[in-house]
Amino acid sequence: ALLLVACGGEEDNTGESQNGENVSASGDGEVKTIRAGIGLNQDHPQYKGLLKFKEIVEEETDGDIVVETYHSGQLGDDRSMTEALQLGSQEVTVPSTAPLANFVPEFSVFDIPFLFPSEEVADEVLAGEVAQDLLKKLEEKDLVGLAYWENGFRDLTNSERPVETIEDFEGLDIRTMENDLHLEAFKTLGANPTPMAFTELFTALQQGTVDGQENPYATIYLENFYEVQDYVSDTHHVYSPFVFLMSKQFYDGLTEEQQQIVRDAAIEAGEHQIKLNREANAEYLQSLIDEGMQYSEISDEERQKMVDAVQPVIEDFKDDIGPDVVDGIYEAVEQAQSE
Ligand code: KDG
């Protein structure tokens, strides 16, 4: 039996027939492995998206590309996994755009507070030229941006008090993503922000190292933050896209057919992920209330005060982000809104 297995047959997935001829559907006869890691956990729509990507890629390549999926920061946080992609020691990760701005500063354009008024406008702008050009910029950093996925509108939680007005931010110790624009925006609102990797966040909330954090409802619920946070407000201060990233080293080693397969799969799995994500974000605010969190709505008037307060920060960051990119995104938002 050993001999039979060694000789191949159905178990043989090297893609080579016995005379060495290449018989694989998509490849060059070599089985390639994609290690895909994210910071969120196995219940999050982001992980369901990765599973979809795995299903499509393994099927389309007849197993010539195998996808191993890792959640909950098993392979690291957004920043360290992105660095691993650059080095070629990991193949896929799906960070928020905010930490990605440490690699390509233009991505901070999505950290402009209150930029997108709705998910529909986000869809339109992310499919447009300015946002798609940003994905191409990643190649200079040994990364390939295959698609935008969705994290979603971010909302504030904390363990101190209901937040309904700007004044309520005063002195709150809030964890932010590792992004300078977020940091400055929260300082301007009166909070005391600390940048931190997502992988350290639950413990920091539990131990009271920080009073609060901001993430979409799906994350707040599925990561059990309601166990260590009492108040939630619909600040909706930023819409976070995810970027489906692949190591350029790995991508360049794929056949053209395989490159097309992973590109299409990242987009198709993304559509699935975004659909599940929207359902989750729509559903889980009620779940948070059911779990005992106190919910505060931000009035239009108070939100406008917040919008006005952060304008100088946006002006300060415009040169760092790139004036053309900032203007281009504002134009795209306006265009999308007028349709
Ligand atoms: O898997 C994605 C997470 O690592 C991270 O991007 C989630 O929004 C996030 C955060 O707050 O860090």
* Residue pLDDT, tens place only, 13-39: 444 444 444 456 667 779 999 999 999
206: CATH: 3.40.190.170
Does 133 score more than 90 pLDDT?
Answer: yes
Nearest CA to ligand 1 atom 3: 39
Domain assignment of residue 259, yes or no: yes
Q: Please give the pLDDT value at position 24.
A: 61
Query: Are 76 and 37 a contacting pair, CB within 8 Å?
Result: yes
Note whether 205 and 106 are within 8 A (CB): no
Q: Is residue 143 part of a domain?
A: yes
Query: What is residue 232's predicted lDDT score, i.e. its pLDDT?
Result: 98
What pLDDT, on a 0 to 100 scale, did the predictor assign at position 26?
Answer: 66
Tell me how many degrees the CA angle 320-326-330 measures, rounded to the nearest 5: 160
Residue 100 has pLDDT above 70, yes or no: yes
Residue 265: inside a domain, yes or no?
yes
252 in a domain, yes or no? yes
Domain residue limits at 168: 31-337
Which long-range contacts (C-beta less than 8 Å, at least 24 apart) are formed by 200-205? 200/77, 201/175, 202/228, 204/175, 205/159, 205/175, 205/229
pLDDT of residue 168: 98
Listed in sequence order, the DSSP H helices in 20-63 are 45-60
Task: Report yes or no on 249 lying in a domain.
Answer: yes
Q: Specify the ligand 1 atom closest to the Cα of 175.
A: 11
Residues within 6 Å of ligand 1 by CB: 38-40, 46, 78, 94-96, 151, 177, 198, 215, 240
pLDDT at position 339 is 85
Domain assignment present for 209: yes
Residue pair 208/159 in contact (Cβ under 8 Å)? The answer is: yes
The per-residue pLDDT of the chain, averaged, comes to 93
Residue with tokens 């976070």: 240
> What is the amino acid identity at position 260?
Q
Q: Whose CA is nearest to atom 12 of ligand 1?
A: 198
Number of domains in the chain: 1
Nearest CA residue ID for atom 4, ligand 1: 39
Residue listed under structure tokens 């619909």: 234
Going by their DSSP bridges, the two strands 143-153 and 192-195 should be labelled as: unpaired
Contact partners, residue 160, CB within 8 Å, separation at least 6? 172, 211, 212, 231
CA of 123 to the centre of ligand 1 (A): 19
Pairing of strands 32-37, 65-70: parallel
pLDDT higher than 90, residue 180: yes
In a domain, 23, yes or no: no
Give the C-alpha separation, 234 to 259, whole Å: 40
What is the tens place of the pLDDT at every residue in 181-231?
999 999 999 999 999 999 999 999 999 999 999 999 999 999 999 999 999
**Model confidence over 37-50: pLDDT tens digits?**
999 999 999 999 99
Rounded CA separation 66/32 (Å): 6
**Confidence bin at 123 (pLDDT 50/70/90):** very high
Distance CA 206, CA 226 (A): 10
pLDDT, one tens digit per residue, over 278-337 is: 999 999 999 999 999 999 999 999 999 999 999 999 999 999 999 999 999 999 999 999
Nearest CA to ligand 1 atom 2: 39
Tell me the C-alpha distance between 249 and 247, whole Å. Answer: 5
- In terms of Cα–Cα distance, which of 330, 338, 336 is closest to 115? 330
Mean pLDDT, residues 120-136 = 98
Ligand 1, atom 6, lies closest to the CA of 96
The whole-number pLDDT of residue 15 equals 41
Determine the pLDDT at residue 152: 98
> What is the rounded distance in angstroms from the CA atom of residue 36 to the CA atom of residue 313?
35
User: What is the pLDDT, as a whole number, of residue 29?
Assistant: 79
This model of the complex carries an ipTM of 0.98
Alpha carbon of 221 to ligand 1 centroid (Å): 14
Domain assignment present for residue 93? The answer is yes
Is residue 6 predicted with pLDDT exceeding 80? no
CA of 259 to the centre of ligand 1 (A): 26
